[in-house]
Chains A and B, each alone.
Chain A
Amino acid sequence: MISLSHVTKLYGSVIGVNDVTVDLGAGAYGLLGPNGAGKTTFLGLVTGQLRPSIGVVRVFGERPFCNARVLRRIGYCPASDLTERSATPREWVRYLVQLSGFTPAAARRLAEETLEQVGLGEAAGRPLSTLSKGMRQRAKLAGAMAHDPDLLVLDEPFDGLDPVARHELVTLVRTWARSRSLLVASHLLHEVEALQAGLAVILGGRLVASGSVHEINQLIDTLPSEVRVVSTAPRRLAELACRCPEAEAVRFVGADAFIVDTRAPRLLADRVVEAANAEGILIRELVPGDRSLEGIFGRLVQVHRGVAP
């Protein structure tokens, strides 16, 4: 469905995406990466707003840039806020559907149905400027979905939503993606996990990993990591930790802490806790590796560069 072959996008001397090669078949995918990683550029290439500087982008087997056949099958919800002030969601969605080639009557019907679907039925007649950010986000989503595309591309779609609205929209998008394809860009792993989508991880314009959430988690677990332990008996506990087959090296940090190098941080942490319980040692702090998104990205980059296996 989406195929990028050695695609690089340059903005002058700034690299948007760098030598990306990926094939995504029909289905749901999450494009994960921190801010500035190149997600929006990737989506811009897929949705035909941008031309690659090098390489070839194909969507549904064709180059998408200004290609009406491809664009007719894509729905795109950008990350930027909708600052159209005077129009109402009803007028806005109807306008977009008409731009997709539908008659005014069909556009009216599709707009009403989709606004109802995203939970904006009652607020559809209010000017966009009077709506909350979450409601404007729903209006954007309705605009992307109303013409019933085969591929829905969403850029940070749940930004600014409260947890209830987030849950509702995740459910809506997940239901929608059962019968059609979905590509969601996000910097939050749990958002993509909630969509039960495959993952492509992008960082610094490079695609550093792709696969299912389970595969990515497995990959992350095989990367060199650290477990930091603060306890009342650090030397004894370090000795016990050394007996675990997952421990690769131990070093002391200060008087009451030590760090264990491992490739299985979660498993090692469990073993250290078990050993401490058996010996009656109090653990004050146990941090099983850097589980922050930046930490994970950093380690995936190491894999990508061949620094780590």
Chain B
Amino acid sequence: MAVASFQINRLLTPPRLALAAIGAAFPTAVLLAATKARGGALDTDLGAILLYFLVPEAVCMLGLLVTICPVVADELERGTWVHIAVRPGGRRALLLGTWLAAVLWTGVVALVGLLLAVLAGVIENGLILLGPFSVLVCLSCIGRAALFSLPAVIIPKRALVASVGVALVVEYLAGLIPAVVNQLTVSLRLRTLLVRFMDWRRNMPIQLQLLVDDRPPWAQVAAVLILAVVFLTIAVAILEWRQFPPSEES
């Protein structure tokens, strides 16, 4: 908790707050543009699809990339890594605390973005999306922050680039392969929950049904939580084992 609150304090700077405001306003701006292009409010299904790509995918992904990726690189750059590495459990606390801070920060930004988008009245019956999408936002933040913590500890100085690669290859490419590999992705779980919440499965073509999971919603939630625990455990183990020569510290 000490690390989480310290990291959140670090995020409370004017540039970061401005970035968060842009992130929160972005979905509404895109939906307003889509409404204008269509000449009226978006129907619930189309609105849900757009909202899904804008909030739990785009806003959460971008928010997490900028908050969790520099978890080690930032400390090395600030010369604070060594202070933390010599504390008992300092490395573990740093990773888990930063993960929590990233989830809270990005989660709040995404939920505000979701609320603004729903309250803007550009989606018909938009308010019914608020509850299910809040769950998607929370799961997206929890799972993906844990996923991005892996490149952050393996290659700290290239973590952002590596995380974008992980997002594209693991989440979007492997997540769309109807095989065992997509079971290990957060995107499969989120997609499945979206389909369940919107009750789209019955009307889906058989080819598209392959892209979602058959198990019930609670299993999808449990899967994301288990994936998060596994990713974080691996990341902590790697970080505990890592050494940074004095020359790598600024």
Contacts and interface: CB of A to CB of B under 8 A. Distances in A.
Query: A and B from one assembly?
Result: yes
A95 B82 contact: no
Contacts of A84: 78-80
A82 B250 CA distance: 10
B83 A143 contact: yes
B87 A83 contact: no
Given A11-B245, A86-B13, A91-B6, A72 B88 contact: yes
A46 to B, nearest CB: 10
Given A51-B243, A98-B2, A104-B2, A68 B79 contact: no
B233 to A, nearest CB: 15
A80 interface: yes
Contacts of B249: 78, 80
A237 B240 CA distance: 67
Nearest to B75: A84
- Chain A interface category by residue count: 35 or more
B9 A66 contact: no
Given A16-B245, A47-B86, A86-B10, A78 B93 contact: no
Interface string A177-221: 000000000000000000000000000000000000000000000
Contacts of A99: 2-3, 84, 87, 89-90, 93
Contacts of A274: none
B91 interface: yes
A78 B79 contact: yes
Interface string A124-159: 000000000000000010010000000000000000
B7 to A, nearest CB: 10
B91 A66 contact: yes
B4 to A, nearest CB: 11
Interface of A: 11, 16, 40-41, 44, 47-51, 66, 68-69, 71-72, 74, 76, 78, 80-87, 91, 95-96, 98-101, 104, 107, 140, 143
Interface of B: 2-3, 6, 9-10, 13, 77-80, 82-91, 93, 240-241, 243-247, 249-250
